Chain A
Amino acid sequence: MPKSMPDAATMLKAAIKYLEEELMPTLEGYHRFQTRVTVNVLSTVGRELELRDGQAQSERARLVELVGHEGDAEALSRELAERIRSGAIALDDPALRAHVRQSLADALAINNPKWVTR
Chain B
Amino acid sequence: MSSNDFADRLSIAVARHIGSPGTVHDLQRLTGGANKTTWSFDAIVDGARQPFILQLASTRVIDESNPVAAASPHLTAEEDARLMIAAVKANVPAPRVRAILEPADGLGAGYVTERVAGETLATRILREERYASARASMATQCGTILAAIHRIPLSEVPFLKLLEPAEHVAVQRMIADYHGFRLPALELGLRWATEHAPKKVRRTVVHGDFRAGNFIVGEDGIRCVLDWEIGQSGDPMQDLGWVCVKTWRFGGKKPVGGFGTREDLFAAYEKAGGYSVDPGHVRFWEAHGSVKWAIGCLSLGTRGVEENGIERCAIGRRIEEPLWDFLNLIEGRD
Contacts and interface: CB of A to CB of B under 8 A. Distances in A.
Interface of A: 34, 37-38, 40-41, 44, 77-78, 80-82, 84-85, 87, 91, 96-97, 99-101, 103-105, 107-108, 111-112, 115-116, 118
A101 B327 contact: yes
Nearest to B331: A97
Given A81-B184, A84-B188, A104-B323, A44 B310 contact: no
B187 interface: yes
B321 A100 contact: no
The 6 closest A-B pairs by CB, nearest first: A84-B187, A107-B320, A81-B182, A111-B317, A81-B187, A104-B324
B324 A108 contact: yes
B192 interface: yes
Interface of B: 182-188, 190-192, 195, 251, 310-311, 313-314, 317-318, 320-321, 323-324, 327, 331
Nearest to B328: A101
Given A34-B311, A97-B327, 10 more contacts: A41-B317, A81-B184, A91-B191, A91-B195, A96-B188, A99-B184, A101-B327, A108-B321, A111-B317, A115-B321
B192 A118 contact: no
B188 A91 contact: yes
Residue among B186, B190, B320, B327 with max Cβ neighbours from chain A (10 Å): B320
Contacts of B310: 34, 37-38, 41
Given A37-B310, A107-B320, A115-B321, A78 B182 contact: yes
A41 B313 contact: yes
B14 to A, nearest CB: 29
B333 to A, nearest CB: 10
A54 B184 CA distance: 20
Contacts of B188: 84, 91, 96, 100
Nearest to A82: B182
B62 to A, nearest CB: 28
A118 B184 CA distance: 24
17 contacts: A34-B310, A38-B310, A77-B184, A80-B184, A81-B182, A82-B182, A84-B188, A85-B190, A87-B191, A91-B188, A97-B327, A103-B184, A104-B320, A108-B321, A112-B320, A115-B321, A115-B324
Nearest to B181: A81
A110 B321 CA distance: 12
Which secondary structure dominates where chain B touches chain A? helix
A107 B324 CA distance: 10
Contacts of A87: 191
A80 B185 CA distance: 10
A116 B187 contact: no
B291 to A, nearest CB: 13
A29 to B, nearest CB: 14
Nearest to B187: A84
Given A41-B314, A101-B327, A108 B320 contact: yes
B258 to A, nearest CB: 11
Contacts of A105: 324
A85 B320 contact: no
A103 B188 CA distance: 13
A86 to B, nearest CB: 9
A47 B245 CA distance: 27
B327 A37 contact: no
Contacts of B182: 77-78, 81-82
Contacts of A81: 182-184, 186-187
Contacts of B324: 104-105, 108, 115-116
B241 to A, nearest CB: 20
Contacts of A96: 184, 188
A97 B188 CA distance: 9
A61 to B, nearest CB: 15
Contacts of B331: 97
A40 B317 CA distance: 11
Residue among B188, B313, B314 with max Cβ neighbours from chain A (10 Å): B188
